[in-house]
A and B are shown apart, each in its own frame.
Chain A
């Protein structure tokens, strides 16, 4: 019999506030690893901020902003082993940058150019999924398959709070638990599904409580604390690799940017809360933590920023220099035998 585990309700935190709340640390993370996390966050932040500018300049299409979600993305992605697979939603469009993908590739995706398609096997990153939660079963299927083949690879799947209302989420989560698939279900709970607030999304007090219904552990973690996310993901992966199956991680944050560039959130969000959250945003929190530890200097911070900006600059130049795609590409991989209706006209 599977044991039904109550989810943890306390929100896990490692980073203090430099005042009354003391800083903690994560075992096994040395200074170099701490700085890797920092650079990853700076790269994501820079990608995101530049993309919003590029959009306003007509250089990329409608873009899903992830400002303030960098701690969730970097903290979880860097906890993975190289062999592990990532199943991103549109909010994690640039997660490939943390595995050596170039900004040119991701920018091309947002430009609607085929150069934005990558070989999932090359990066162990599945395609960006725009429909909500449909990739949860994909991740579970991959992970179950790896287990059946006796491999040690795990899967990490990202989705938002709104995805937990979807049938595909339920099927994926239930199947993962039943089959003990080595997968981490990482819910980026930023309180909004476009303009639908969490309170209109669920009657559950905590999303993590849903895990108990599937018979898997559920943990809640401060999504603005990169180290807490790293630690929670690491524990979930260790559990998965040991054959104990999936974990549901609810990373709590508040989206203080538009859903996408076509959204006007001032129509629905809480402006005062947005201001508070922006002051306490994740990169600044981690920056201050590293300086309190004496690990980060002005010079290192500036280098990280300059390097990220340089990569974006060459990335957009390279993406814009690509020749326009051949429209026939649309049909290239759609049919083995194109139906006659496609040939008409």
Chain B
């Protein structure tokens, strides 16, 4: 007897889920309630316990694949591993899927409009990876395929990797930011010579966080969110701190930055960065920031134009710091110079105010207490 486990609806009306990680392998003996698989949905990642005991006969969907609810994921059964390709006997009652899983032989799912468009643009519909519910091919999918050369022969050697996991979330998030926010970036130079002497073993980050938290209290419209016809002025200073990880850029939230000492800021920023890289942060540690700081060190560029971490209205970047010539008391001197950028949502913040905020932060960094 074998049990075919299908992707359940893990929310209320979710259409699909991604196999984040298998916690078993084929041939493994498992007990009922042993951890089986981690599923990532639009909402969260869920560890699913095995509904059946026996040998993991076949894993039908690989890690990283995004499949509709109801898709068979794994066959758990007593006895030997099924031959590859041999259908597994299934006699345990499986829950009714809310949407039938498309079989490879089935017709591609697309509306007549999309089919006509595909024909007009010369795109082979069956070769397009549909991103709609149940793998349905959307109008956008067809246009994207057409832009990337369609399926016409003669395109160059290439490697295609599905957009999955953190990268997919980043893509969605930044698309929203770019679409929603009329963004302007202002850049200022900052003389960090005094701070570089005063900071000792500490990095620049806790000083930057402290200066930003203080500056935001003077310029509340940068610590805000545009909510329809209202501007929400946050009366807390929870700073997103961008962290580069192997999976992609992650922005954990350093809470109450205005209430912490330099040592506390440094310790908390380190804890969050390590947690982000290890993937051990709780979901609530990754959301609810009111303003974001990005500081990529030597890889930060001379300056850049960071994208606003939507739905915040502004982001501040500290870019590469290096000895550079500067004018001090009418003389050219070698100073530790870094450039700071501030990208802001021009709907909420006026340019003069953003500049004043940035100069306020520069002033605090140039005169460490």
Contact = CB atoms under 8 A, between A and B. Distances in A.
Interface of A: 53-59, 61-62, 260-262, 264, 266-267, 271, 320-321, 324
B284 A271 contact: yes
A58 B7 contact: yes
B46 A56 contact: yes
B149 interface: no
B11 A53 contact: no
Given A58-B9, A271-B284, A53 B44 contact: no
B33 A53 contact: yes
Contact of B51 (A57, A266, A267, A324): A57
A266 B284 contact: yes
A321 B51 CA distance: 15
Q: For chain B, which range describes its interface: under 10, 10 to 19, 20 to 34, or 35 or more residues?
A: 20 to 34
Max chain A CB contacts within 10 Å: which of B44, B50, B51, B96?
Answer: B51
A166 B5 CA distance: 42
Contacts of B12: 62, 260-262
Contacts of B92: 320
A160 to B, nearest CB: 19
B93 interface: yes
Contacts of B282: 266
B115 interface: no
Interface of B: 5-12, 33, 43-44, 46-51, 92-93, 95-96, 282-284, 287
A55 B44 contact: no
B44 A264 contact: yes
Contacts of B7: 58
Nearest to B39: A56
B10 A324 contact: no
B284 A57 contact: no
A57 B8 contact: yes
Contacts of B8: 55-59
A265 to B, nearest CB: 10
Contacts of A56: 8, 10, 46-49
Contact of B48 (A57, A61, A271): A57
A266 B283 contact: yes
Contacts of B48: 56-57
Contacts of B44: 264
A88 to B, nearest CB: 21
A138 B283 CA distance: 42
Contacts of B95: 58-59
B93 A320 contact: yes
Contacts of A260: 12
Given A320-B93, A321-B93, A324-B96, A57 B11 contact: no
A250 to B, nearest CB: 30
Nearest to A62: B12
29 contacts: A53-B33, A53-B49, A56-B46, A56-B47, A56-B48, A56-B49, A57-B8, A57-B49, A57-B50, A57-B51, A58-B6, A58-B9, A59-B51, A61-B9, A62-B12, A261-B11, A262-B11, A262-B12, A264-B43, A264-B44, A264-B283, A266-B282, A266-B283, A267-B284, A271-B284, A320-B92, A320-B93, A321-B93, A324-B96
Given A57-B51, A271-B284, 16 more contacts: A54-B51, A56-B46, A56-B49, A57-B48, A57-B49, A58-B5, A58-B95, A59-B8, A59-B95, A62-B12, A261-B10, A262-B12, A264-B44, A264-B283, A267-B287, A320-B92
A326 to B, nearest CB: 14
Contacts of A264: 43-44, 283
Nearest to B96: A324
B352 to A, nearest CB: 36
Nearest to A265: B284
Nearest to A60: B95
Contacts of B287: 267
Contacts of A324: 96
Nearest to B48: A56
B34 to A, nearest CB: 12
B49 to A, nearest CB: 5
A271 B10 CA distance: 22
A55 B11 CA distance: 10
A262 B41 CA distance: 11
